[in-house]
Amino acid sequence: MKRLEPNRLGLSILLLLVLSFSSPSAALVWQDVANELMSPACPGRTLINCTSGQSEQWREVIRQKLAKGETKEQIIQYFVSMRGEEILAAPPKQGFALTAWLLPLFVMVNGAGLIIVLTYRWARKRPEADVSTLPSSDAILSDTLPRASPPPDVYRERLRSELEEFRS
């Protein structure tokens, strides 16, 4: 059996490594592009999640453009020029569409501020107990405090009178 020379062995290992890493990265790139575009046939779905024939054709166009050497941005710009900005899965971060990115942040910051202000006001309005009017612990334990009679309850009185009538 003939042994490979060290240079050939190193080159063959390098070639295997290059070939093994090239295809997953290319597949990842077309999936990245397809994930940033909305499907033309399936409303509310990205191009990668749609199973229609038109979406499959678009995915094939993406693969062909990547094989030609176009970048992700060039491919996305091609579809935007063909169908408009509605085809983008996320609005662009410029112009009026920037409000779609900033509005949730604005709402969250203002909501947190409102919660803090309301909590502060509610905590400040709470009446503080006057320590001098509170009974001592000895008075509570000895049960010598005068008991206040509960206010008359109209319904309780009516229930008592009806029970007395029922028993008689």
Residue 49: CATH number of its domain: 1.10.8.640
User: What is the DSSP annotation of 122-164?
Assistant: HHHHSPPPPGGGSPPHHHHHHT-SPPPPPPP-HHHHHHHHHHH
State whether 69 and 108 are in the same domain.
no
Answer whether residue 146 shows pLDDT above 50.
yes
The reply to whether 168 falls in a domain is no
Cβ(94)–Cβ(73) below 8 Å: no
The reply to whether 143 falls in a domain is no
Mean pLDDT over each residue of the chain, to the nearest integer: 77
State whether 118 and 50 are in the same domain.
no
State whether 46 and 101 are in the same domain.
no
Place of tokens 């397809």: 34
pTM over 0.85: no
Q: Which residues of 55-83 are buried (b: 16+ CB within 10 A; e: fewer)?
A: beebbebbbebbeeebeeeebbeebeeee
- How many folded domains does the chain comprise? 2
Answer whether residue 151 shows pLDDT above 80.
no
State whether 19 and 84 are in the same domain.
yes
Residues 6+ apart with CB under 8 A from 41: 50, 52, 53, 54, 55
Query: Residue 38: helix, strand or coil by DSSP?
Result: strand
Give the pLDDT score at 25.
46
State whether 26 and 39 are in the same domain.
yes
The reply to whether 157 falls in a domain is no
The reply to whether 132 falls in a domain is no
Continuous H helices in the chain? 6-35, 53-68, 72-83, 98-125, 137-142, 154-167
Residue 50's domain spans which residues? 6-90
The reply to whether 74 falls in a domain is yes
State whether 81 and 102 are in the same domain.
no
Q: Which of 97, 80, 98, 89 is nearest to 31 (CA)?
A: 89
Task: Give the pLDDT confidence of 93-119 residue by residue, as tens digits.
Answer: 777 767 777 888 899 999 999 999 999
Task: Give the pLDDT confidence of 46-56 residue by residue, as tens digits.
Answer: 888 888 888 88
Please give the C-alpha separations between residue 65 and each of 68, 76, 101, 161, in angstroms, as whole numbers: 5, 11, 30, 92
State whether 13 and 60 are in the same domain.
yes
State whether 40 and 58 are in the same domain.
yes
Task: Give the pLDDT confidence of 63-85 residue by residue, as tens digits.
Answer: 998 888 888 889 989 988 988 88
State whether 45 and 96 are in the same domain.
no
Q: What is the CA radius of gyration of the chain?
A: 38
pLDDT band at 33 (very low <50, low <70, confident <90, very high): confident
